[in-house]
A and B are shown apart, each in its own frame.
Chain A
Amino acid sequence: MENVIELRNATKKFKGFSVENIDLQVKQGLITGFIGENGAGKSTTIKMMMNLLKPDAGEVKVFGLDFRTHEKEIKERIGFVYDGNVYFEGLNLKDIRRIVGPAYSQWDDDLFYKYVNQFDLPLNKAIKTFSKGMQMKGSLAIALSHHAELIIMDEPTAGLDPNFRRELLELLQEIMVDGKRTIFLSTHMTTDLDRIADYIAFIQRGKLVFNQSIQDISDQYALVKGPLDLLDRDTEKDFVHVHRFKTGFQALTDRVKAVEDTFGNSVVIERASLEEIMYFMKGERQHV
């Protein structure tokens, strides 16, 4: 499978915050969800992918091309949706189309109006009168109207009500049907991704923890519940992190097979949701 985005050892340091040695490959034709807490480095990583930030070290390639030599070619093929509105808020969609459209050689007016219709967006109202959901839909309509092969979204579901979120996620699945398109979207709401993502990249405190297919994640990670007396220094080795309660323990393991061998039927092994994985991983780091 081909990689649409490749980050190799990408590092960017700020005062008091950094993303370090990010090695991340985003596969073509799939939806990759990028998860992590607020402030984990998701936006910084996305900005490096868009060349809004240049990494201090390492390299970023999109479509196998380098921004230094192919900036325009790369951006021609990307559609972007950011957390906040980046379009001139005093303008209406018609005027924004007049500014943004000609920037793309593949801009398709018919497609744009099709999405505007589909999303029920007013053409003559200023963007600042739009609700958060409408602004996001407007950005999405623009992102989809130049036949982009890669859609990069930074927290597109933030601030949307549940119905709207569901609608957006369905729409994303819809635009994936031709198989050539790739979507990379960041979110801190992991439940968004359980339904649609093929791959999950997880970033924590500026470091990439994993980038795996949903299938691999559910094979590898599991939630283990059992009585406290099973825990000792040896058995705990199989856990990423353990939470102790009076009634027993709950732990995350990334070695399901080993846990099965050690504990057999004396523990309950359940599928771990992304949220649980994130939660336990956070604990693990804090205890080190």
Chain B
Amino acid sequence: MFNLIRRDVILQKRQLLFFIPFILFFIFMNSHPIMTFLVASIFIPFNAYAYDEKAETNVLLNSLPYTRKEIIASRYLGAVLYMILAISLSSLALFLLDKPFTMRDMAIGSGLFLTFSAFTFPLFYIFKQGYIFTIVLISFLVLAGIGPSILNYVGKYLTPLSQFLANLSGETLYIGALLSALIVYCLSWGFSQKIYQRKAF
């Protein structure tokens, strides 16, 4: 199973050369640290899906001594592992470049990544192969573009909700958000596994 996760690094060794410059680009563009953490986390797992979208990859993986459960688990666990790696690397880069960031940024960045993954990963198993990667990429850019203004709007007009959130202490809020993201992520895992079990290759 660890071997399945390691596979992504072997497959993407060329793309990984761009990983550090990619992170640095966002830092130099003065993106918010949350944004940097988020895009850095997305890099490896979503690249991996771009590879796995090919039908032959599924034929290969399912012909090797792996169960379908393991194949899905490697995706979900791998994403978390690569996220931790990406956030550590980005933090190091931010630290070395003397850019300020907080634990809170890391928590929100990973929470957003988990939520985004939770909603997009199953798409790769539901829909026909070939288009999903593009759809996910576009939806990400759109969300990143209009997401903040939606949040502002919600904050303005849904006062009870924002008041409730404002009353929570910072710690509780971010830990709560991260935990909810994790729960959604696990639900998504179970869902993907269910779909994948029934697939024919």
Contact = CB atoms under 8 A, between A and B. Distances in A.
Nearest to A48: B200
B60 interface: yes
Interface residues of B, number: 18
Interface string A101-123: 01111000000000000000000
Interface residues of A, number: 29
A144 B90 CA distance: 43
B11 A88 contact: yes
Contacts of B62: 50-52
A98 B10 contact: yes
Interface in B25-61: 51, 56-57, 59-60
B65 A104 contact: yes
B95 interface: no
Nearest to A80: B63
B142 interface: no
A154 to B, nearest CB: 10
A231 interface: no
A53 B201 contact: yes
B129 to A, nearest CB: 14
A127 to B, nearest CB: 11
Interface of A: 47, 50-54, 71-73, 75-76, 78, 80, 82, 84-88, 90-91, 95, 98-100, 102-105
14 contacts: A47-B201, A52-B59, A52-B200, A52-B201, A53-B200, A54-B198, A54-B200, A82-B63, A85-B56, A86-B57, A91-B11, A99-B3, A99-B7, A104-B65
B47 to A, nearest CB: 12
B65 A76 contact: yes
Nearest to A75: B65
B10 A99 contact: yes
A51 B200 CA distance: 9
B200 A88 contact: no
B101 interface: no
Contact of A52 (B3, B63, B67): B63
